[in-house]
Amino acid sequence: MSLKTLLNKKSRRILGLMSGTSCDGLDMAVVDIHGSGRNTRFEIVATGHKAYTDRQKSVLLQLVSNQKAPLHLVSKVNFWLPRKWAEAIASFLNKNCLSATEIDAIGSHGQTVYHQSQPETVAGRKICSTLQIGDPSVLAQLTGITVVGDFRTADMALGGQGAPLVPYFDWLYYSRFKKNTLALNIGGISNITYIPADGDFSKVTALDCGPGNLLLDQAVQRMYEMPFDRNGNIAARGKLSTRLLNYLIKNDTFIHQLPPRSTGREHYGSTFIIKTLKRAVRLRLMEPDIMHTLSYYTVYAIHDAVNRFIKTEGPIELLSVGGGGAHNKFLMKMLAEVFSPAEVQTAGRTGIDEDYKEAICFAVLAHETLNGMPSNVPQVTGATRPAILGKICQGG
Ligand SMILES: Nc1ncnc2c1ncn2[C@@H]1O[C@H](COP(=O)(O)OP(=O)(O)O)[C@@H](O)[C@H]1O
Ligand SMILES: [Mg+2]
């Protein structure tokens, strides 16, 4: 399809891709999308997940958890990832009896390997930067499908944090509920969007709260050699250590930052967890108590961010939880307690499969880009103005 035809379409079938901070795999969602802004309507056609093998995950972790990874590795993985993704897409489409020619475009978030939202000096100039790899142009050539990728850079160029970007999607989706809503995503990092009952875009607020699954995953991997604390079972067996909790509250610089703010593995990666676990050993804590306290802290950071930085009009009626953390029953139970009497539900219960929310979001953001519509939320990211996000790379 020519780019001109694609741009002129009113409805598009878009494949959204997300490869998140957790490095667990690639999430895929084919979405039929029509309209724009609050008038956007969409229908999920198919969803799928392709897990990274241990070997692939260790390559990614070398990049995302070691800020000193060699440049040649960044460059190689930038080409290797789209190859891997193109294979995953081909089998996903095939399994769902879809052909690549039926897909109008791909919206690809890419894999964040570096996100520096606080300015640092380069040759006398203060610069923020973010890098998502898995080159969209390579992916477009390998799949034959036009790709919209690299969504974060335009917002950052305008003085924004380039994150979070889900709030635009949260606004266009949740404003239909006409309730004071918090849309929470617990991926590697947790972020939250407030959507007022009247759906007024200018009142939408959002920020990264702190760790999502990142501390929990790293702790459980180091202590139990399991990928994650399934359903929060280990945490549920432990008890709270107020001393470890207070240590975290005092020493985690991110939760004390004012918004706009965003974070990633740069902050909550291996250095952070090693220091925390050393402290826990000094406090002679048992493993379940460590998991319990880290889970408690994860919810504490979410609640604290809402209390301090989100001005709501009336009480919160609905808290919709997306991301893999929505499966963590222990986290969900604590969220229900601290946000009571708000109704706390998985995003799936409100019509958006929690495992694919971000993939669906990037399909919708790609659609807006092809519509020529901005999709950052400037009051959230700190950008000076709305921006049309991403780069369009034409497929075959
Ligand atoms: N059943 C479960 N119980 C507890 N945690 C889970 C469960 N399923 C997934 N998760 C968590 O969700 C994470 C993946 O979440 P995801 O939303 O994909 O994050 P990201 O966007 O950072 O990739 C896993 O690493 C794990 O911590
Ligand atoms: Mg993931």
Facing residues of 49 across strands?
A: 27
If you take atom 19 of ligand 1, which residue's CA is the nearest one? 187
- Does the CB atom of residue 22 touch ligand 1 within 6 A? yes
CA distance 27 to 24: 9
Contact 227, 326 (CB under 8 A): no
Residue 214 CA, closest ligand 1 atom number: 27
Q: What is the structure's pLDDT at 301?
A: 98
Contact 160, 260 (CB under 8 A): yes
The CA-based angle 284-327-22, given to 5 degrees, is 70
Q: What is the structure's pLDDT at 356?
A: 97
- Does the CB atom of residue 112 touch ligand 1 within 6 A? no
Report residue 396 as tokens.
Answer: 């075959």
| Alpha-helical regions (H) of the chain | 3-8, 54-64, 71-95, 136-143, 152-157, 166-174, 214-224, 233-237, 242-251, 265-268, 270-282, 287-309, 329-338, 357-371, 378-381
Q: What is the structure's pLDDT at 83?
A: 98
CA distance 246 to 240: 11
Q: What is the structure's pLDDT at 67?
A: 77
Measured from the Cβ of residue 151, the count of other Cβ atoms closer than 10 Å reads 28
Ligand nearest the Cα of residue 25 is 2
Please tell me the pTM assigned to this model: 0.95
- CA-closest candidate to residue 170, choices 305, 381, 365, 14: 365
Structure-token match 């974060």, residue found: 152
Residue 217 CA, closest ligand 1 atom number: 27
| Distant-in-sequence, close-in-space partners of 261: CB < 8 Å, separation ≥ 6 | 117, 161, 207, 208, 254
The CA-based angle 232-238-242, given to 5 degrees, is 110
- Does the CB atom of residue 117 touch ligand 1 within 6 A? no
Residue 23 CA, closest ligand 1 atom number: 23
- CA-closest candidate to residue 165, choices 181, 152, 154: 152
Phi, psi (deg, nearest 5) at residue 51: -70, 145
| Distant-in-sequence, close-in-space partners of 332: CB < 8 Å, separation ≥ 6 | 321, 326, 344, 346
Q: What is the structure's pLDDT at 396?
A: 77
pLDDT tens digits in sequence order for the chain, 396 residues long: 899 999 999 999 999 999 999 899 999 999 999 999 999 999 999 999 999 999 999 999 999 887 789 999 999 999 999 999 999 999 999 999 999 999 999 999 999 999 998 999 999 999 999 999 999 999 999 999 999 999 999 999 999 999 999 999 999 999 999 999 999 999 999 999 999 999 999 999 999 999 999 999 999 999 998 999 999 999 999 999 999 999 999 999 999 999 999 899 989 999 999 999 999 999 999 999 999 999 999 999 999 999 999 999 899 999 999 999 999 999 999 999 999 999 999 999 999 999 999 999 999 999 999 999 999 999 999 999 999 999 999 997
- Does the CB atom of residue 324 touch ligand 1 within 6 A? yes
Residue 20 CA, closest ligand 1 atom number: 23
CA distance 187 to 124: 35
If you take atom 5 of ligand 1, which residue's CA is the nearest one? 328
| Distant-in-sequence, close-in-space partners of 4: CB < 8 Å, separation ≥ 6 | none
- Does the CB atom of residue 264 touch ligand 1 within 6 A? no
- Does the CB atom of residue 328 touch ligand 1 within 6 A? yes
